[in-house]
Structure 1
Amino acid sequence: MIRVALAVAVGGATGCVLRFLAASWVVAHWPRHYYLATLTVNMLGCLLIGLLSGLFLLRTDLPLELRTGLTVGLLGGLTTFSSFSLELLNMLEHGRIAEAAGYLLCSVVGGLLAAWLGLTLARLCQ
């Protein structure tokens, strides 16, 4: 159990640093569109969790530490639903209703489509 927890911790730390770097880069280049980093990492995380989950169903021989470290750790640290929620509320509070609606729609529908695509890609690898 301790090895799985360590794998999650290492993966989570890595995901958090990647999310921080993505957010820093976006804010430096497009400060008004700060939320694009969150949207991007959430879409990528949804795609990857679908892909990895599908692959891990095929490869149950892979160590639990690897599977859990990547999905719960790395992708859990990388994706940012709490940040998404706060950013969405910020847009709404500043009267940016259309932008907030687009962000909400892209995040939810895009995330579902990305997870489906990842799972589909994994199934094609069978």
Structure 2
Amino acid sequence: MNVLLVIAGAAVGAPLRYVLDRAVQARHDGRFPWGTFVVNISGCLVLGCLTGAGLPAAWTVLAGTGFCGAFTTYSTFSYETVRLTEQRAYRYAIGYTVASVAAGLVASTLGYAAAHALLG
């Protein structure tokens, strides 16, 4: 049953990631990968909320593992960081890495705290 929940969540998360990434990136010129950045930070916020809400295990598998797992993209983050480094855009690469990790931690913490305060 869990496999079906992961598949169902991923079936929504992956296309939504693509659409949001393209929509954000289309509005920004330049080297910084805003699309992936926004997707990953919003995914951290959602996963923080899910964790803080204390949902039943099935919902956690569906929304956390399935949806958030397919929505966020560590591989694209890594690839874009390498690409920026190859282009000798070192400040962008370092800024992207630091901002992604820091903002992701802040977003997940805020999501957790908000959901825990409202629902926990």
Partner of 2:35: 37
Aligned counterparts of 1:121 and 1:21: Cα–Cα separation in 2: 27
* Structure 1 residue 33 displacement after superposition: 4.5
* Structure 1 residue 23 displacement after superposition: 2.3
Q: What is the SS of the residue equivalent to 1:32?
A: coil
Matched, 1:73 2:66: yes
State which of 74, 77, 99 in structure 2 corresponds to 1:106. 99
Count residues with an aligned counterpart.
119
* CA RMSD after TM alignment: 1.6
Aligned counterparts of 2:28 and 2:51: Cα–Cα separation in 1: 33
Determine if contact 1:41/1:79 at 8 Å carries over to the other structure.
yes
Q: 1:70 to 1:115 in 2, by over 3 A?
A: same
Aligned counterparts of 2:5 and 2:102: Cα–Cα separation in 1: 30
With structure 2 as the length reference, what TM-score do the two structures score?
Answer: 0.89
With structure 1 as the length reference, what TM-score do the two structures score?
Answer: 0.85
* Structure 1 residue 5 displacement after superposition: 1.1
Which runs of 5 or more residues in structure 1 are unaligned? none
Determine if contact 1:26/1:34 at 8 Å carries over to the other structure.
no
Rg larger in 1 or in 2?
Answer: 1
Bigger drift between 105-114 and 116-125 goes to 116-125
State which of 72, 75, 81 in structure 2 corresponds to 1:88. 81
Determine if contact 2:2/2:58 at 8 Å carries over to the other structure.
yes
Aligned counterparts of 2:74 and 2:117: Cα–Cα separation in 1: 29
Aligned counterparts of 2:51 and 2:34: Cα–Cα separation in 1: 25
Deviation string 1:55-106 (CA, Å, 9 cap, x unpaired) is: 12xx4xx3x3322100000000000000000000000110111111111111
Q: What is the SS of the residue equivalent to 2:88?
A: coil
Runs of 4+ more than 4 Å apart? none
